């Protein structure tokens, strides 16, 4: 059973518009969440994280929102740029319980010029 | 520069062969990980190590083995018992597994069975 789900395998957005990538989780012990960006044949690179004590974290064009009651988080990219085209992975961890990071299956974002 | 180095980038394995993927980090991280990515799938944990001379099985450890003799090194051996080894393998590290820290990845290694 997947503990971290990204139900949209792909997403296409026009350049300059907002990209919203969604992630759902089932384990209520998860207390730390991360988003990674991955280009083909490269390792994922860290984008942004959020602890369960917050509901929002912002870093430049990237904002992550956490809704604990819904067990849902989302990554907003504004404005979207062609260089943002990549696969985005959501990851969760129950760090206080020593549980390792669990990754979602990823969403492929295509930003069209 | 600090980082995680994986080698080789591309590796071909014949049926029945064991192969070893190298992973070295100079970030002084205690924890290291090996993940596997198959096309269209997320990252699945093979093995992880929280400290030198200790390692634990992840979700898909069968057919793989690891060692952690040095803090900076965490090699992965893909044995002949692994039935579907063709995949993209990612090594990662983090300061430890018990704090709100980020996990950092290497560039990955492609393994193909020929």
Q: Is B103 on the interface with A (CB under 8 A)?
A: yes
Model pLDDT for residues A80-91, shown as the tens digit of each residue: 999 999 999 999
Q: Which residues of chain B neighbour A4 with C-beta distances below 8 Å? A: 42
Q: Which residues of chain A neighbour B99 with C-beta distances below 8 Å? A: 95
Model pLDDT for residues B33-66, shown as the tens digit of each residue: 999 998 777 889 999 998 999 999 998 999 999 9
The structure tokens listed for B26 are 């100079």
SS3 for A82? helix
Nearest to B103 among A98, A101, A106 (CB): A101
Nearest to A103 among B40, B42, B104 (CB): B42
Q: Is B58 on the interface with A (CB under 8 A)?
A: yes
Instruction: Express as a percent the part of chain A with pLDDT over 70.
Output: 95
Expressed in percent and rounded to 5, the helix, strand and coil fractions of chain A are 5, 55, 40
Q: Decide if pLDDT at A98 tops 80.
A: no
SS3 for B12? strand
pLDDT confidence of residue B113? 86
Q: Decide if pLDDT at B12 tops 60.
A: yes
Distance CA B90, CA B35 (A): 5
Q: Is B97 on the interface with A (CB under 8 A)?
A: yes
Place of tokens 């004590």: A53
Chain B nearest C-alpha distance from A90 (Å)? 9
Q: Which residues contact B52 (CB under 8 A, 6 or more apart)?
A: B68, B69, B70, B71
Strands (E) across A16-95 are located at 19-25, 32-38, 45-51, 56-59, 62-67, 72-77, 86-93
Model pLDDT for residues B98-111, shown as the tens digit of each residue: 655 688 999 999 99
SS3 for B43? strand
């Amino acid at each position: 059973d997947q503990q971290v789900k990204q139900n949209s395998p792909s997403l296409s957005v026009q350049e300059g518009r907002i990209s919203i990538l969604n992630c759902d989780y089932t384990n209520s012990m998860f207390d730390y969440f991360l988003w990674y960006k991955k280009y083909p044949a490269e390792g994922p690179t860290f984008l942004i994280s959020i602890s369960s004590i917050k509901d929002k974290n912002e870093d430049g064009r990237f904002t992550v929102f956490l809704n604990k009651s819904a067990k849902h988080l989302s990554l907003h990219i504004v404005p979207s740029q062609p260089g943002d085209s990549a696969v985005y992975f959501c990851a969760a961890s129950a760090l206080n319980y020593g549980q390792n990071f669990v990754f979602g299956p990823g969403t492929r974002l295509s930003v069209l010029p | 520069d600090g980082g995680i180095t994986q080698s080789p980038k591309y590796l071909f394995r014949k049926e029945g062969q064991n192969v070893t993927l190298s992973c070295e980090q100079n970030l002084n991280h205690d924890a290291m990980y090996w993940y596997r990515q198959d096309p269209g799938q997320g990252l699945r944990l093979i093995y992880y190590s929280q400290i030198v001379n200790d390692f634990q099985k992840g979700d898909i450890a069968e057919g793989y083995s690891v060692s952690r003799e040095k803090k900076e090194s965490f090699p992965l051996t893909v044995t002949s018992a692994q039935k579907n080894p063709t995949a993209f393998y990612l090594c990662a590290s983090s300061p430890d597994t018990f704090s709100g820290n980020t996990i950092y990845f290497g560039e990955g290694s492609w393994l193909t069975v020929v």
